[in-house]
Structure 1
Amino acid sequence: MKPIFGRGPSLQLRLFFAIIVSASLMLADSRLDAFSQVRFLLNSMVAPIQYAADLPRSMFDGFYERFSSRQQLMDSNRSLKREVLALKSDLILLDQYREENQRLRKLLGSSFVRDEKKVVAEVMGVDTSPYRHQVVIDKGRLDGVYEGQPVINEKGIVGQVTFVAAHNSRVLLLVDPNSAIPVQNIRNDIRVVASGNGQTDEIQLEHIATSTDMEVGDMLVTSGLGGVYPEGYPVAYLSHVDKDTRREFASIKASPVVDFNRLRYLLLIWPNEDRQQKVLQANPEQMTKESDNGAQ
């Protein structure tokens, strides 16, 4: 019985035939360029399909590239902001250090600072109220500080040490109500006692007869009486003089040369040994009596 469908060429024969045809076409195309137009037509037909197929990938690549660039810019911007902030903080510190150096130069180079031993101290704490004006400094007994030691800055008299610990000390300011300092008027050498009244920008002269020669603008300096403060250090300028003849004493006020609201660095001074012994043995009543005698 014969099969319904006749057998065709074998698989090997068909493969051989396909190889021969393919080789012939490739040879003809390479030598004669016979299929260039067909190839161009096929490319033209396929190009839109390729573009459509490639469009999602192209869009994703473009979006990813833009997102990456934006992210890089944002990261770079944040990094630059941090650098700018760090640089600004460095500049602030640099300005602060420059100011501190200028203050120290003024403090050590002040024209009235003499050859006496001196040490720079920094204010660690402030204790101020209407009835109390004191500061704590970072120098103490181990630095040679002693009670009654005079304290100045680049402008003039600040006050004196009233308490000494191992590593710090307490300074009674000139404007404290418990402070009194023997001074003299540069213009006429009249000696009086100036005392604090609790105001940071004012001290007063008490028990001065109305006939005493005192004028607004006169400069007061330390008189050296009592041995606490060396002679000649600036203290204040007379700012108010009221000589009411109906009263026994004149009302006299003075503006300190030191700005007590801006104390940062102070200068501890060591007078000569004789003066230091006077400080340690000084009697406040005796100091006041000597100054009052000078004002009469």
Structure 2
Amino acid sequence: MAADGRFDKLAPVRSVIATGLGPVYWLGNAPYRFSDWFSGLFVSRDDLQQENEELKTRLLILERRALKYAALASENNELRRLLNSSEVLDDRVIVGEVVAVSPDPFSHEVVINKGSNDGVTTGQAVLDAEGLLGQVIQTSQFTSRVLLVSDSSHAVPVEVVRNGLRSILLGNGETDELELVHVPDTADIREGDMLVSSGLGGRFPRGYPVAEVSSISKEPGEPFVDIVAVPKARLNQSRLVLVVFQQKDEPAEAPLVPLGEVEEQN
């Protein structure tokens, strides 16, 4: 034993014995393994149904989380687009959210969650991340109604970015097209031209993207051409919007003159 403990002389012998006893160990554990396997064959139907319901519940929870994450990702992307849009504007803006849509099919209006408490007033321009969405037509303490550019009563003075040609862009009750009116057949305008707000009339600040010319047609004998433009804003999709506060030129205050100097001058 001493020699084995010091020089490990019997290690090969112990290895052979352990190898030979392997089947004995396996046979000794076989009844327990067989018992577990056999009992697993007779799982009750109630247990299977319960496990199935638990798995369905977990799946629903995971699907809800996935939808929530997708919605958050979409909202983050929209916020990034709004941030990029606000950075290129010279005017002050606040971010609002569309909370209601007019059920009247002939009235293109939405309600946003910004009102007079936020400084919103009638006539302010409202944008989304792509372009001009509409203008505020009514305010309350906490909300405002916005008339979309696609409403048949809405008109925007615009100009062509390429050459400065000015005209009026009208809504026609369709969310995917607008009409550019009173354009002579000799005017230099092409499909693909970008239309931006001209600032005339003072209602909309100048330079906001409004629409892109999609088609031009001319009726024989008519002095004006029929022009259809596609709005840049996602009129029936955008949820987050920018309410624009125009920078107003304030008159410089006259310097105060001490009363004594006035009396001396007199």
Same fold (TM over 0.5): yes
Give me the identity figure in percent: 41
Task: Give the conservation status (yes or no) of the 8 Å contact 2:128–2:234.
Answer: no
**Residues of 2 paired with 1:216 and 1:210: CA distance?**
14
Instruction: Indicate the residue corresponding to 2:93 in structure 1.
Output: 118
Which of 194, 214, 219 aligns to 2:194? It is 219
Instruction: Indicate the residue corresponding to 1:175 in structure 2.
Output: 150
Which of 190, 200, 203 aligns to 2:175? It is 200
Question: In angstroms, what is the RMSD of aligned CA positions?
Answer: 2.3
Instruction: Indicate the residue corresponding to 2:110 in structure 1.
Output: 135
**Residues of 1 paired with 2:109 and 2:203: CA distance?**
18
Deviation at 1:239? 1.4
Task: Give the conservation status (yes or no) of the 8 Å contact 2:93–2:244.
Answer: yes
Instruction: Indicate the residue corresponding to 1:10 in structure 2.
Output: none
- Whichever of the two has the greater Rg, that structure is 1
Which of 124, 133, 141 aligns to 1:149? It is 124
Task: Give the conservation status (yes or no) of the 8 Å contact 1:162–1:170.
Answer: yes
Which of 244, 253, 256 aligns to 1:269? It is 244
- 1:236 and 2:211 are equivalent in the alignment: yes
- 1:79 and 2:54 are equivalent in the alignment: yes
SS of residue in 1 equivalent to 2:69: helix
Alpha-carbon displacement from aligned partner over 1:34-57 (angstroms, at most 9, x marks no partner) = xxxxxxxxxxxxxxxxxxxxxxxx
Task: Give the conservation status (yes or no) of the 8 Å contact 1:148–1:161.
Answer: yes
CA distance 1:65–1:116, shift in 2 (3 Å): same
Q: List gaps (5 residues or longer) in structure 1.
A: 1-62, 276-296
SS of residue in 1 equivalent to 2:108: strand
**Residues of 1 paired with 2:219 and 2:163: CA distance?**
21
The aligned amino acid for 1:96 is A
Instruction: Indicate the residue corresponding to 1:257 in structure 2.
Output: 232
Alpha-carbon displacement from aligned partner over 1:24-76 (angstroms, at most 9, x marks no partner) = xxxxxxxxxxxxxxxxxxxxxxxxxxxxxxxxxxxxxxx99976655444333
Task: Give the conservation status (yes or no) of the 8 Å contact 1:206–1:252.
Answer: yes
Instruction: Indicate the residue corresponding to 2:223 in structure 1.
Output: 248
Task: Give the conservation status (yes or no) of the 8 Å contact 2:126–2:243.
Answer: yes
**Residues of 2 paired with 1:234 and 1:112: CA distance?**
15
Q: List gaps (5 residues or longer) in structure 2.
A: 1-37, 251-266
TM-score, length-scaled by structure 2: 0.73
The number of residue pairs the alignment matches comes to 213
Task: Give the conservation status (yes or no) of the 8 Å contact 1:222–1:231.
Answer: yes
Deviation at 1:254? 0.8
**Residues of 1 paired with 2:222 and 2:128: CA distance?**
37
**Residues of 2 paired with 1:82 and 1:130: CA distance?**
40
CA distance 1:188–1:217, shift in 2 (3 Å): same
Task: Give the conservation status (yes or no) of the 8 Å contact 1:210–1:244.
Answer: no
Task: Give the conservation status (yes or no) of the 8 Å contact 1:194–1:206.
Answer: yes
Deviation at 1:125? 1.1
Greater fraction helix: 1
TM-score, length-scaled by structure 1: 0.66
Deviation at 1:112? 6.8
SS of residue in 1 equivalent to 2:52: helix
Moved over 6 A (4+): 63-68
CA distance 1:213–1:112, shift in 2 (3 Å): farther
**Residues of 2 paired with 1:87 and 1:150: CA distance?**
41
Task: Give the conservation status (yes or no) of the 8 Å contact 2:111–2:143.
Answer: yes
